Amino acid sequence: MGRLENFAFRKGGRGKRGRLKKLAAAGVAAGLLLVTVVTGCGSQNVATGPASAPGANAPQRGGTFINWMKDDPRSLDPAHCGDTQSYDIQLNIYDGLLTFDQSGKKVIPDLASQMPTISNNGKTYTFELRKGIKFQNGDPLTADDVVYTFNRLAAKSIASEGEGYFSMIKGMDAVNQGKATTVSGVVKKGDYTVQFDLSAPNRTFLDVMALPYAFILDKKYTSALSSQADLSLKPMGTGPFKFVSWKRGQEIKLVRNNDYFMKDAAGRRLPYLDGITWKLGYDESVAFLKFKNKEQDYTWIPAADYVQVMNDAVLKKDVVSIVQNDFWYFAANEKVKPFNNKKLLLALEYGIDKEALLKLINNRGVIANGILPPNMPGYKQNPAGFKYDLAKAKSLIAEAGYANGLPGEYPVIYRQSQITNTLMVNIQAQLAKLGIKVKLDAVPFPQYLDVVTQGKATLLLGHWAQDYPDPDDFLNILFNTSQIPSNNLQCYSNPKVDAQLNQLCQEPDLEKAIPGYQAVEKTILQDGAEVPLYHDKAEYLLQPWVHAQLHPVFPYFYYLTAWIDQKAEKQATGK
């Protein structure tokens, strides 16, 4: 959901993140695409494109994808799907009204039979649901489930990190604030028709409707749970895979939903996999060893082993990589003294050597001097003209009143991993040269989120990845005052920036809004809101018998059409 990545995440104010659901082609040589085909009986999703002929490259049904995560996901409840780990699992259990195509740039129908009808000068969207869709327990999908989902998402008792993404819908914030009991802007118009009314036109509405926070829930099933917290332990949706079990710190298991509504171009029911298992609770070094021992199908490449892998003729063939639409950043909580001093914040920008950081992680990234990533509309390489200047950083600290350095020691929290540990040890040494002593606090990801999304961090290492292809996803969600503290982790507030961001999202033509977003980005950087560090080049290892493509923008596999060459797997593993 940009969500707080596996490394950072957020909640909602006016805002955003959940991550985008990736439906589509995985590993078929011909390249499958999921599209909506309208027929006399309604519409159905099929995977189209040159159909694979029977043979070695044809998708096979069966097999289990053995995946891996270092930490447990935060939640399997869509209302709390604000991180990539939770999303990676939830996208297989649930569906939304809309989703993103495999390019990550276009919104397409999912549970909706077609794109919504837009009326009332861009303020009313009417969705028609596919007929015959069933939840995994057999309950039929109706408009009541859609209305229920958004009322639950808005409920103050649920405390969803994503509610703010949908603040443009009439009544969402009123329910969240306890001023109303139902969302006035989500109305059932028939058994399979739902109308959404916005307070004002908003260019990003269709984008946020494709986020995981908007995954549709079974009203009957969910409302009957003894506690709403139980949905995370017993998730159930309309998605391609059904939840089996979650043994914390050990594994999560999903199995195929044999009644899933999508088919491929040849008419074969999706998904192909029998199931997906995520192994949990060990770091990337152990995961790498398990991968080499053929005990799991996927792993990160540890920094210490990167050169070895890239020089290994066999392993190098199994590397998959993408340059992500994301950015890593270092930030200070502006509500915590002495970091409420602008000169001190700017000293951090001038005083951190980003090139030195990238060298430590095998240059697996692109230096970030701005907030927007290279593939995002409106990207500028260096919007504010900053560059590393240790002397200037020290001068700014002196001007801030700390010529002899800052008193005391300040905690910096971050999600623990080999890479983040390496980065933070170096940043700690760089800050020491500025007279800023910091204490490193490396914690598991769920604990990290609990601290930063409540505004309790003093200093933090953060990461944000694209949720939808619009500058709003980075600038509004991370820096609007309304996003404090769920997404705006550094508690940055500038009324002028707020007003500009609130106005820009109402411009229907993104191209016309770009200059405004670029001006806002420059202001945010000049305010010292945070220090952009780099954009990720994510590289992973995937076993050769697994045919699963990474999304070109997001770090997720296309599980829906992923498949396993079971003969090749058996030959390689002896099982």
Tokens found for residue 507: 């411009």
H or E element, residue 331: strand 326-332
The answer to whether residues 169 and 185 touch, using CB atoms and an 8 Å cutoff, is yes
Architecture of domain 326-536: Roll (3.10)
Tokens found for residue 189: 């118009």
Using CA atoms, how far residue 501 sits from 164, 207, 434, 566, in Å, is 14, 16, 34, 51
H-only helix segments in 236-353: 284-292, 306-310, 342-351
Torsion of CA 336, 396, 387, 465, to 10 degrees: 0
The answer to whether residues 203 and 473 touch, using CB atoms and an 8 Å cutoff, is no
- Euclidean distance between CA atoms 554 and 102, whole angstroms: 10
The separation between CA 527 and the C-alpha centre of its own chain, rounded to angstroms, equals 26
- Euclidean distance between CA atoms 112 and 205, whole angstroms: 15
Q: Which residues pair with 441 in a beta bridge?
A: 413
Q: Which of 435, 438, 461, 436 is nearest to 448 (CA)?
A: 461
- Euclidean distance between CA atoms 164 and 487, whole angstroms: 10
E strand spans, 333-469? 365-367, 409-415, 437-443, 459-465
What is the identity of the amino acid at 549? Q
Q: Which residues pair with 328 in a beta bridge?
A: 463, 534
- Euclidean distance between CA atoms 518 and 520, whole angstroms: 5
- What end-to-end distance do the CA atoms of the chain give, in Å? 37
Backbone angles phi, psi at 140, to 5 degrees: -75, 145
Instruction: Determine the pLDDT at residue 261.
Output: 96
- Euclidean distance between CA atoms 194 and 208, whole angstroms: 16
Q: How many of the other CB atoms lie within 10 Å of CB of 209?
A: 24
Domain covering 252-262+269-321+540-573 in this structure, CATH number = 3.40.190.10
H-only helix segments in 4-142: 84-93
pTM, two decimal places: 0.78
| Residue segments in the chain with a per-residue pLDDT below the cut of 50 | 1-44, 47-54
- Euclidean distance between CA atoms 527 and 521, whole angstroms: 10
Backbone angles phi, psi at 205, to 5 degrees: -55, -50
Buried b / exposed e across 231-249, counting CB within 10 Å, b at 16+? bbeebbbbbbbbbeebeee
The answer to whether residues 384 and 372 touch, using CB atoms and an 8 Å cutoff, is no
Q: By three-state DSSP, how is residue 37 classified?
A: strand
Mean of pLDDT over the chain: 89
Tokens found for residue 153: 């998402």
The CATH number of domain 33-59+72-241, selected from 1.10.579.10, 3.30.365.10, 3.40.50.300, 3.90.76.10: 3.90.76.10
H or E element, residue 566: helix 566-573
Q: By three-state DSSP, how is residue 415 classified?
A: strand
Q: How many of the other CB atoms lie within 10 Å of CB of 127?
A: 23
Using CA atoms, how far residue 330 sits from 344, 381, 458, 491, 494, in Å, is 13, 18, 11, 13, 19
Q: Which of 291, 313, 294 is nearest to 302 (CA)?
A: 291
Q: Are strands 64-68 and 275-279 parallel, antiparallel or unpaired?
A: parallel
For the chain, the structural domain boundaries read 33-59+72-241, 252-262+269-321+540-573, 326-536
Q: Which residue has the tokens 């159905």?
A: 44
The answer to whether residues 413 and 443 touch, using CB atoms and an 8 Å cutoff, is yes
Tokens found for residue 340: 């409420």
104-107-110 Cα angle (round to 5):
110
> Which residues, 6+ apart, have CB-to-CB distance to 104 below 8 Å?
20, 22, 325, 466, 469, 551, 552, 553, 554
Q: Which of 399, 394, 407 is nearest to 437 (CA)?
A: 407
E strand spans, 141-248? 186-190, 193-197, 241-247
The answer to whether residues 73 and 83 touch, using CB atoms and an 8 Å cutoff, is yes
Q: What would you report as the CA-atom Rg of the chain, rounded to the nearest whole angstrom?
A: 23
Tokens found for residue 30: 């011909």
Report DSSP letters for 19-73, one per residue.
---B-S--S-TT--EEEEEEETTEEEEEEESSPPPSSTTS-----EEEEE-SS--
Using CA atoms, how far residue 361 sits from 322, 382, 445, 459, 538, in Å, is 16, 22, 20, 22, 11
- Euclidean distance between CA atoms 196 and 175, whole angstroms: 15
pLDDT in tens, 322-373: 778 899 999 999 999 999 999 999 999 999 999 999 999 888 899 999 999 9
The answer to whether residues 322 and 536 touch, using CB atoms and an 8 Å cutoff, is no
Q: What share of the chain is helix, strand, coil (3-state, %, to 5)?
A: 30, 25, 45
Instruction: Determine the pLDDT at residue 418.
Output: 86
